[in-house]
Structure 1
């Protein structure tokens, strides 16, 4: 075993009070995600107010397509996070360094691939989704510019995954804060002042992502910790890559198929016209204030379980899983009540059109009351992934949030004769996913840590 890693206390989740460790790790992530969602929302708000409902709908279409194309990037980020947190918890300097440097190389490769795919496939995707003709040109323009800067997004997210895996989520909060403020300022400048329309919003996003990528890479280069980036050690390690890909591939597949089901939902909404798409976009921007913090708790559970398994602290794993789930449920319950009570005022921020607001409110009321179920799904899935068992959560989410949704859209949604049938795809799938995830977790097989069959003995 290599000499022990000199961990700062704030990074170590293998000791101390469990709820405090998870909360201290989660809070910067939640704050960062809320900040990120604020600038995403600012994009939509500024575009909606200064350009119009068609432009607002165009920005929304890009999010659905982006989620699909970025699925493998997020899967690789999850895989590297699990591998790095395990090596960090085990004080394994050698393999930790190899995993970190391989992760950064993968970020450039994956980012470049996603960028090219997004630019080339923008129009075909929109045509398949039945994008309304009046928003086709603006949607293509926004998507192509947005994906032109995707390599910066990939570098930041993979690098942030490294810091999160070792428990250092405060730095990612700082960089997200700087990026968010930059994005909002540039949005106002490019869209409200220069009148560049959706192109201005897309350029603002790319520039802000470039800044966050530069800042986080500089941090990794300057840190003296063993998870730091060293130019002389920057090489592709095939074993580390296999571990990352093998661990992250199920999550990537899960995200891709989940995104496919969301594309079908988007197509269902598109059938009701541009105003419906604008309302749907407004709802999903608001929905981000629930789902992103939920994913923060999920990541906290993944990191907590990964570090404690690496350190041999199995006594803390089950307790940490329950704690993360309870925290996640409490947050979702609170945000759910806020959105239900103030639903009309919230959606009205994005558009003055009564039709757009009505579509958005209907969507929000189909989602918000069931947020606690989504909290159960993702918090438990995060804990299970941390043990290295990434396939079961993938299968459960594929069944509940993908296959079920496809069946609902094709069979049940048309029976309602309105857009409500499309919106209910989300809430009904939450019930299925929560039930399956709880049943699997209670069986306990995931508590037997999954080992890496090709581990090397560190020198």
Structure 2
């Protein structure tokens, strides 16, 4: 049975739609974090603190690389969401064809650059000397798998814009299962498979991503998804000037926003690295746990963005505002529960990654100071998701820059020389507080509802 265009997110109870759409996103985030956590346990427990510190540095770089295409992916998602809301299948396929070429070209360029400059990038991050060899080997293999990772994320964002969050999740299950099974196989070796150490963890990840992407593409064509590019749709597989202009104009600020987030994370870990591998390992373990705390915010934020985009396309602004409120309430409840659970089992959770008592103690201190503030992060994520769904991207970019590079990073670097690592940890809640105040002010008093993704015929005026 062929997939047909469905704009059902513009009708029905908002709370139910939001939860049902967000659940696959949340479970997908859980799977990805669980996958990373299990891999981190293998590396940290059996290969030591230096290897774990290496993966922490390399993973921050991978987040940076995902940020490079996040903006284009989000712009594509919003354009498709608005097109589906307006029931314009032709425009949706124009977006798919143009953005697909972009993702392919960019991934190949970044892979080539990354393979050559991996050591220089890691040195620039002040990676601990004892972790450098591990990190270089790990990162180079990850770069080889970058086109597969970009390809999967592109298809995932396209399908979410069309209102389908379940199908990408099913194939994420395949990727996660393969990664978990293959990690110990390639790390320790078995039979004809050689023991590759930390490089084996990267090889397992690349294989899992490739298989998942191939299966997803096969499935979409087998089921005749309406956004697939068929022989008749080949004319859409080109650099459409109007679509490119929108992707660049709207996508670059959204990509820069993620770059600001990722580079600030690199700046923080660069500072933490100067305190040695124990501090780096503790910070890496704490960030593993905080990734779970952020998952509801990311899931609800992605859901509200898609719901808002479709309703903007349909001109239903009352549903856009209701989506914002419901998103904040759901996020507050879900994030609060996770924060409470980690506080209850703080030491035990960190003990999954760390064996050194001093590293565990530092990790517990990090969680004590930072975890509760991720509730504020969630509210900001939801509000920004709704605002971006209209095409208003500059103020969220400015808000993120002010909160991170004008508040968090200066506080971390300046105060850490006086108060040690505690200043780094306290910069998190301070930065989140600034971000939420600025985001809410713009939502209430800003002109984001007048923003447009393409021409006036593609965006409905606020009513």
Category of TM-score, reference length = shorter chain: over 0.9
Q: Please give the alpha-carbon distance, in whole angstroms, between the structure 2 residues aligned to 1:180 and 1:334.
A: 25
Query: What is the match of residue 238 of structure 1?
Result: 241
Q: Please give the alpha-carbon distance, in whole angstroms, between the structure 2 residues aligned to 1:202 and 1:407.
A: 34
Q: Which moved more, 1:355-364 or 1:135-144?
A: 355-364
Query: What is the match of residue 26 of structure 1?
Result: 22
Question: Residues 233 and 251 (structure 1 numbering): CA distance in 2 closer, same or farther, change over 3 Å?
Answer: same
Q: Please give the alpha-carbon distance, in whole angstroms, between the structure 2 residues aligned to 1:425 and 1:212.
A: 38
Find out whether 1:368 has 2:371 as its counterpart.
yes
Query: What is the match of residue 394 of structure 1?
Result: 397
Question: Residues 198 and 78 (structure 1 numbering): CA distance in 2 closer, same or farther, change over 3 Å?
Answer: same
SS at match of 2:9: coil
- Choose which of 421, 427, 451 in structure 1 pairs with 2:423: 421
Find out whether 1:275 has 2:302 as its counterpart.
no
Is the 1:13–1:167 Cα contact (8 Å) retained in structure 2? yes
Query: What is the match of residue 432 of structure 2?
Result: 430
SS at match of 2:258: helix
Is the 2:74–2:251 Cα contact (8 Å) retained in structure 1? yes
Please state how far the C-alpha of 1:108 moved relative to its aligned partner: 0.9
Find out whether 1:168 has 2:164 as its counterpart.
yes
Query: What is the match of residue 105 of structure 1?
Result: 101
Query: What is the match of residue 129 of structure 1?
Result: 125
Is the 2:452–2:458 Cα contact (8 Å) retained in structure 1? no
Please state how far the C-alpha of 1:447 moved relative to its aligned partner: 2.6
Find out whether 1:87 has 2:90 as its counterpart.
no
Give the gaps of 5 or more residues in structure 2: none
Q: Please give the alpha-carbon distance, in whole angstroms, between the structure 2 residues aligned to 1:389 and 1:86.
A: 14
- Choose which of 304, 324, 343 in structure 2 pairs with 1:301: 304
Is the 2:246–2:453 Cα contact (8 Å) retained in structure 1? no
Q: Which moved more, 1:375-384 or 1:349-358?
A: 349-358
Question: Residues 231 and 324 (structure 1 numbering): CA distance in 2 closer, same or farther, change over 3 Å?
Answer: farther
RMSD: 1.8
Find out whether 1:353 has 2:356 as its counterpart.
yes
Query: What is the match of residue 66 of structure 2?
Result: 70
Is the 1:111–1:151 Cα contact (8 Å) retained in structure 2? yes
- Choose which of 16, 20, 45 in structure 2 pairs with 1:49: 45
Query: What is the match of residue 212 of structure 1?
Result: 212
SS at match of 1:54: helix
Question: Residues 256 and 231 (structure 1 numbering): CA distance in 2 closer, same or farther, change over 3 Å?
Answer: farther
Q: Which moved more, 1:174-183 or 1:406-415?
A: 406-415
Q: Please give the alpha-carbon distance, in whole angstroms, between the structure 1 residues aligned to 2:366 and 2:229.
A: 44
Q: Which moved more, 1:130-139 or 1:442-451?
A: 442-451
Find out whether 1:248 has 2:246 as its counterpart.
no
Find out whether 1:292 has 2:295 as its counterpart.
yes
Q: Which moved more, 1:32-41 or 1:441-450?
A: 441-450
Per-residue CA deviation, residues 243-266 of structure 1 (Å, 9 max, x unaligned), is 222221111111112222111101
Question: Residues 214 and 454 (structure 1 numbering): CA distance in 2 closer, same or farther, change over 3 Å?
Answer: farther
- Choose which of 335, 344, 347 in structure 2 pairs with 1:344: 347
Please state how far the C-alpha of 1:132 moved relative to its aligned partner: 1.2
Per-residue CA deviation, residues 280-325 of structure 1 (Å, 9 max, x unaligned), is 1111111111223311111111111100010111121101111111
Question: Residues 45 and 96 (structure 1 numbering): CA distance in 2 closer, same or farther, change over 3 Å?
Answer: same
Q: Please give the alpha-carbon distance, in whole angstroms, between the structure 1 residues aligned to 2:456 and 2:136.
A: 44
Per-residue CA deviation, residues 170-210 of structure 1 (Å, 9 max, x unaligned), is 01110111110100000121124453211000001111111
Q: Which moved more, 1:404-413 or 1:319-328?
A: 404-413
* Structure 2 length-normalised TM: 0.93
Q: Please give the alpha-carbon distance, in whole angstroms, between the structure 2 residues aligned to 1:30 and 1:272.
A: 34
Please state how far the C-alpha of 1:276 moved relative to its aligned partner: 1.2
Q: Please give the alpha-carbon distance, in whole angstroms, between the structure 1 residues aligned to 2:443 and 2:225.
A: 35
Q: Please give the alpha-carbon distance, in whole angstroms, between the structure 1 residues aligned to 2:405 and 2:338.
A: 25
SS at match of 1:389: coil
Please state how far the C-alpha of 1:384 moved relative to its aligned partner: 0.4
Question: Residues 99 and 455 (structure 1 numbering): CA distance in 2 closer, same or farther, change over 3 Å?
Answer: farther
Q: Please give the alpha-carbon distance, in whole angstroms, between the structure 1 residues aligned to 2:361 and 2:399.
A: 33
Query: What is the match of residue 410 of structure 1?
Result: 413
Q: Please give the alpha-carbon distance, in whole angstroms, between the structure 2 residues aligned to 1:33 and 1:246.
A: 28
Give the gaps of 5 or more residues in structure 1: none
Q: Please give the alpha-carbon distance, in whole angstroms, between the structure 2 residues aligned to 1:168 and 1:299.
A: 12
Q: Please give the alpha-carbon distance, in whole angstroms, between the structure 2 residues aligned to 1:211 and 1:202.
A: 15
Query: What is the match of residue 147 of structure 2?
Result: 151
